[in-house]
Amino acid sequence: MASDGYLPLFETRRVKGRIFYRVFVVSVFVCIFFIWVYRLCHIPNKHENGKLLWVWIGLFAAELWLGFYWIFTQSLRWNRVRRLTFRDRLSQRYEDKLPGVDIFVCTADPKIEPPMMVINTVLSVMAYDYPTDKLSVYLSDDASSDLTFYALMEASHFSTHWIPYCKKFNVEPRSPAAYFINVGESQGEKSQSNELTAVKRLYEEMENRIQTATKLGRITEEIRMKHKGFSQWDSYSSPLDHDTILQILIDGRDPNAVDNERCALPTLVYLAREKRPWHFQNFKAGAMNALIRVSSKISNGQVILNVDCDMYSNNSQVVRDALCFFMDEEKGHEVAFVQFPQNFDNVTKNELYSNSSRIFNEVELQGLDGYGCPLYTGSGCFHRREILCGSKYSKETKIEWKSKKDSKGEESLLDLEETSKALASCTYERNTQWGKEMGLKYGCPAEDVVTGLSIQSRGWKSVYSKPERDAFLGVSPTTLLQLLVQHKRWSEGNFQIFISKYCPAWHAHGKISLGFRLGYCCYGLWAPSCLATLFYSVVPSLYLLKGIPLFPEITSPWIIPFAYVIFAKYGGSLVEFLWCGGTALGWWNDQRLWLYKRTSSYLFAFIDTILKTLGFSESAFVVTAKVADQDVLERYEKEIMEFGDTSSMFTILSTLALLNLFCLIGAVKRVIIDDGFVKLYETMILQILLCSTLVLINWPLYQGLFLRKDNGKMPSSLTAKTLVLALVLFGIEVT
C-alpha cells in the first residue's frame, strides 16, 4: 500500500526461482557455444571428402540456428510475472460508474461451427456477473445463415429464464450445455432442484427445435412468419452475395426488454455484413471491424471483448477482472488490452495432440507479460475501444470512464437498424483507414497478433491475466490433420509479420522492450525453423547408415557439451511441463507434435509465405472444424492418433518416419554382420540415440501405416506412396 493510502486494483508478482533459472540458462548457453566451437575446429578436409564437408557445414548452420532459437525461447522465461486482481476494491469505488462492455462473438460456418455451440457461447457471455444494462452482445455470422439467426432468436427467448437462474444460484459455468453436464438434478436445495428441472427442460426443448431445423437444413414457413427478421433473407443470393443483415433481437433501451424477474436484459444483435463476389472480405478481421462500427452506433461500449464461437465463458467474474486493469488509477491509463488464456475442455489426459497450449499459457505469456507486451491471440481479449480505433499513447492521457450511453428516444429501433446497416456495407471502408490504422489489420492470416503489435508499437501496454478459475473454455482439434492445418495458418501469419514492417525485431524502437523482441522471434521464426529440424531429422540418420560419424566419440571431451545440452534441454522441458500440471506421457506427446509441426505445418507455411511474397499465391483463411464423427471422437478419447485423411502433410511425416526406421534397421544389420557394435557405440553414440529417438517418437505413424485396421489408419494409397518414396531415398543413399 502506498503512503497516501492508495490501494491498487491489481498486483504484479514475479515468479519465484529466477536466479536459479538464470544460472541454469547461462550454463546451457556456454555448452551451446562449445558445440559451435567443436564444429568450427573439426571441419573435414575438402580434398578427402567434399560431400562430408557440406554436410558438416549444414550441421553447423542447423546448430547455429537452433542455438539462437533456444536463446529466443529463454527470453520468454527470463522475466515472468503473475497478475492478481482485487474485484472488491473495484466494486467499492466504481460500481455505479462501470463502463459499457460490448461483446463480439464470431462464427463463419454453421456446418463446422454448429448453431447450438454458438448460442451456448452467446448465452454464457450474456449471463456475466455484470450490470445487464451495460452489456451488449453481438453475433457476427459470416456465413449469413438463417439457421444461426434462428438459433440466436431462440437463445434470446431462453435468456429470459437462464440469466436470472444463473444470478440467483451463482451458476458456473454459464454455458447451459457445460453446466447441465456438470450438475445433476439432485444437487442443491429443493428450490434450486425444482428450478433446475424447469430451466433444463426449457433448454432441451430449445435444443430440439434448433437441431430439428438444422437437420432439415432450412427454416419452415411457420417459423419465418413468427419473426420479421427472416424477411431480410428475401433478397439473399448466397453466403458471398447478399445485403447487410442486421437484427436487434433484444433492445437494451426498451424498458420492456426484461427477464422473468423483471430485470433488464443485455442488448443482443445479429449481424451478417454485406458480401459481394467481387469484394474481398478480409476474413475475421473484416468481420471484427464491421462489428466495431456497428456497435459504436448501437451501444458504443468503452470496452470490447471478442471471443470465438467455440470459446464459452467459464468464469462469470472475468469482466470485472479485466476492468481492474483498465480502471486502476495509477497504471490503468497505460493498458490497451487484457488477454486471457484460451483453455480447452476436451483435452485428453495425456494431451494426445499437445493441444492444451500448456506451456504457452502457463509460461510464455507470463514471460511476455513481464515486458508489458503479451500478444493479442484473437479470442478472450478485452480492448479499450478508442485504442482499437487508432488512439496513440500519451503519458498525459486521462481516461474518463462512462456508463453505457443512454440513447433512449433518439432513434426508433427500425431507424437504428437501418442506419447501422450502412456501417457494415462492402463500400464503407473505401478510402478510409480501416484495416490500416483503425480496427484490426488486414493482409495477414494472424490478424490478431499483428493488430496487437501495432497497438504496442504506439506505446501502449498489454496485460495477461490468468485467474484461478479458467476464464474461457473451448474446443481443441480432435484430429492430427486439424491441428497441423491450424498451426500452418498460425506459423504462416507469424512469419508474414516477421518479414513485414510490424516485426518487433526492427519496428517501434524504444517502445517495445528488447526482451519482447527476442521473445516474439520464437513465433515469427516458427516457419523457417523447419529447415534446421528437417536437416537434423534426416542427415545424421543417413550417415549412421553409412557408418560415418558426425558427432564426437564417446571418449572425447567434446561430447560433454552435447550431452549436457541434450540433458538440460529435454530434462528442463520435462520438469517445466510437469510443473505446469502435465503428465510425463503428455510431455512425450508434446515432443512428438513439436517434431510433426516443424516438419509439416511449418514447412508448408514457409513455402507458402515465400510464394506469397514473390506474388505466386494469395493468403487463405481456413476455419478449423469444431465437430467430429462419433468414431473419430471415440478414438480421440482413447488417445489413438487419427490419420484417416489423405494429406501431403502425412506424406512428408510418413516418409521421414520410414526413412529413419530403415536407417536404424540398416545400422543394426551392419552391427550383426560386421560384429562392429563396440566400434559403432564408441564413434556414433549420438547418431544412434537421435535415430532411435526419432523411431520411437514415430511409433503412432508406424501403427497407422501397417498395424491398425480401423478407419483412422493411414489410407492404403498414402501408405504405398510413402513406402515407395522412403525406399527410393534409402536406395539412393545405400548406392
Indicate whether 735 pLDDT > 90: no
Tell me the C-alpha distance between 95 and 600, whole Å.
51
Percent of the chain with pLDDT over 90: 75
Cβ-count burial 541-568 (b if 16+ within 10 Å, e if not)? bbbbbebbbbbbeeeeeebebbebbeeb
Q: How confident is the model at residue 142 (pLDDT cuts 50, 70, 90)?
A: very high
**403-418 mean pLDDT:** 71
Residue 329 burial (CB count, 10 A): 11
- pLDDT tens string 57-67: 999 999 999 99
Cα angle 233, 234, 240 (rounded to 5 degrees) comes to 55
DSSP string, 644-674: -S--HHHHHHHHHHHHHHHHHHHHHHHHHHH
The helix (run of H) or strand (run of E) holding residue 633 is helix 630-637
Q: How confident is the model at residue 157 (pLDDT cuts 50, 70, 90)?
A: very high
Closest CA to 626 of 360, 359, 346, 286: 346
Residue with cell 557408418: 547
Return the pLDDT at 189.
54
- pLDDT tens string 487-510: 999 999 999 999 988 888 787 677
Percent of the chain with pLDDT over 70: 94
Q: How confident is the model at residue 450 (pLDDT cuts 50, 70, 90)?
A: very high
Please give the residue that has the higher pLDDT: either 223 or 316.
316
Return the pLDDT at 618.
66
Residue 26 burial (CB count, 10 A): 10
Closest CA to 479 of 593, 564, 556, 384: 593
Return the pLDDT at 191.
60
**697-715 mean pLDDT:** 94
Closest CA to 701 of 484, 527, 477: 484
- Rounded to 5 degrees, φ, ψ at 511 are -110, -15
Indicate whether 316 pLDDT > 60: yes
Indicate whether 367 pLDDT > 90: yes
Tell me the C-alpha distance between 8 and 6, whole Å.
6
The helix (run of H) or strand (run of E) holding residue 250 is strand 245-250
Q: How confident is the model at residue 530 (pLDDT cuts 50, 70, 90)?
A: very high
Tell me the C-alpha distance between 649 and 485, whole Å.
9
Return the pLDDT at 626.
58
User: Domains in the chain, ordered, with CATH?
Assistant: 13-75+517-734 (no CATH), 85-342+377-475 (3.90.550.10)
Indicate whether 731 pLDDT > 90: no
Return the pLDDT at 3.
46
Cβ-count burial 435-466 (b if 16+ within 10 Å, e if not)? beebbbbbebbbbbbbbbbbbbbbbbbbbbbb
Indicate whether 394 pLDDT > 90: no
Q: How confident is the model at residue 385 (pLDDT cuts 50, 70, 90)?
A: very high
**281-303 mean pLDDT:** 95
Return the pLDDT at 412.
87
Closest CA to 270 of 160, 138, 116: 138
- pLDDT tens string 657-666: 999 999 999 8
- pLDDT tens string 537-586: 999 999 998 889 999 999 999 999 999 999 999 999 999 999 999 999 99
Query: Coil, strand or helix: which one is 698?
Result: coil
Tell me the C-alpha distance between 704 and 650, whole Å.
11
The helix (run of H) or strand (run of E) holding residue 595 is helix 584-596
Return the pLDDT at 403.
65
According to DSSP, the residues that pair with 250 across neighbouring strands are 268
**84-104 mean pLDDT:** 95
**122-151 mean pLDDT:** 96
Please say whether the beta carbons of 370 and 80 come within 8 A.
yes
Indicate whether 21 pLDDT > 90: yes
- pLDDT tens string 637-656: 999 999 988 899 999 999 99
- pLDDT tens string 174-186: 999 999 988 864 4
Please say whether the beta carbons of 478 and 632 come within 8 A.
yes
Q: Which three cell numbers stand for residue 246?
A: 442486421
Residue 335 burial (CB count, 10 A): 22
Per-residue DSSP letter, 434: B
Indicate whether 396 pLDDT > 90: no
Please state the pTM of the whole predicted model: 0.93
The helix (run of H) or strand (run of E) holding residue 537 is helix 529-546
Least confident interval from 132-136, 186-190, 538-542: 186-190
Return the pLDDT at 404.
58
How many residues are listed for the chain in this entry?
735
Name the residues annotated as catalytic.
142, 448
Please say whether the beta carbons of 309 and 148 come within 8 A.
no
- Rounded to 5 degrees, φ, ψ at 396 are -85, 0
Residue 426 burial (CB count, 10 A): 18
Tell me the C-alpha distance between 317 and 322, whole Å.
9
